[in-house]
Structures are given as C-alpha cells and as structure tokens.
Structure 1
C-alpha cells in the first residue's frame, strides 16, 4: 500500500473521552503526578546529611527518617493543591463557575511562588517547582480555551 492510500484511509484509533481533550487537562494530570512524586521523594530520597561524629563522608537519610512522619504533611501540600486546582478547572469548565477559575489561578500561582521561595530556603522547594509550573500552565491553557470559547 502506498503512502497516499494510507493517508486517505486512516485507521480508527482509540477514542479519548471528550472531557480529557480540554487544554490544560494533561498539564493538570502531570502536576498531580509530580505532587505524588514530591511525597514519595520526601519518604525515600536521602537528602539530609546526618552528623555521625566521625571524620569522612557523612551518611544521608530521607526527610521521613530524619524528621519523622510529620514531614509528610508539608510534603503532601503540592499534591493537595494540584488535586484542588484540577477539580477547580473541571468545575469551572463544566459548571460555568467563574470563581472556580479565579481560585485555580490563586492556588497555582501561590504554589509556584512558594516553590520559588522554597527553592532558595528549603530542601524540598526544588522538587515542588515542576508542580507549580505545570499548574500555572494548566490554568493558562484553560483560561485561553475559555476566552476562545467566548465564556468570560
């Protein structure tokens, strides 16, 4: 079969649900994935150096091992914000709620600002940065699609 005939008769592919074709859904989904990643990294990544009193290389432990289970609460904040922003974007799209989009903007930019501040001051800030960037991108894409559709 030649290339022209192949293009003329495309094969049916898997259908993706229409609600997942909205701009920003993929970025919001990846933001949730990176939020889960931050939580996992806080539990397993040996990032904090512990002084053992001997000269030489000092051992490193995860934040969970050094600070206990209490560190999982702040590490879960990016995941919770990502889930909330994704839900707000969905509610703004299907319910026509104008406040939902504004709340998504506020939460996504607040997380990005906290990640930038945390990048300089805390160990975990650099890991939160991708979640904040993806949430802002999802919100921008949803806002652009909403303006293009005429709903302001």
Structure 2
C-alpha cells in the first residue's frame, strides 16, 4: 500500500512511520534542550561545562583520582583530541594535572586536583538541582523508571555494536 510502512502511515523520514518520527523528534528536541539548559547553568554558575563536570566526576570516581586519557575519551564517547583539549583547559584552571603513566611510559594519566574536587562538589549541587528542575520534575515516577529502562536498552545496544547506521 503506497504511503505506508508495514501498514503504518509513512512519515517524511524514510523508514519511519509518523509515530516513530514524532517520538524521535521529541526525544532529540528534549535531549538538546535539557543538555543546553543544564550546560548553560553550569557555565554561568561554575565556569564548567556539562562535559567538564562529567569528566571531573569520572576522575573523582577513578582509583586514586586518575585515569588514562584514552579511557576518559571512551567513557565520554568523545574523540581523544577533544578530551586532550578539555584536559588542557581544566589544567589551566588548576582542576586537573597530567603526567606520564608510570605503568606505561607511552600513556598519559589525568588526575583530579584538590581544587578540582572542590569545584566538582559545588558544581554537582547545581547539576543535581538542574536535572531535577529541567528533567525529573516533568515526569511521573513511572515515567522516570520507563525512561531509565528505555535509555539503558538503547545504550546497551549501541555498546554491543548493533544497530549501526
């Protein structure tokens, strides 16, 4: 039947029906707006981006407060060059240091400083409040649970390498 996908009404996006396109666009719009809103609050209040807070949090939770640069890039799903620039900027702020990895002369470790831990602690309070205000407060508890499970399934699929574009 023309204009359908398996009996469903086709959308402007090839391969998606109208409900699927609407769901994707709503997700994408919400994700971008929540990210931008929380990022702006963190920059305004702490001079740290959301990416900075995530990186500092990873370091703070790592053994000894340090992690290999490549591991940080992988955990942040970022290009190594982007993480290198980010670490360089945070280093200038006195929030992290870099040093050769004693276990691997070729690798570099990033380490959170005491100042970085202090900045992270302050930023995490604002971060938590912003997540509550801009994400959680719009949803019921069952919706939060469903969102969590759905996002976990999507992430697990992407980590395992399926499906890819």
TM-score after normalising by structure 2:
0.26
- Bigger RCO (CA 8 Å, 6+ sep): 1
Between Structure 1 and Structure 2, whose CA radius of gyration is higher?
1
- Comparing both structures, which one devotes a greater share of its residues to strand? 2
- Comparing both structures, which one devotes a greater share of its residues to helix? 1
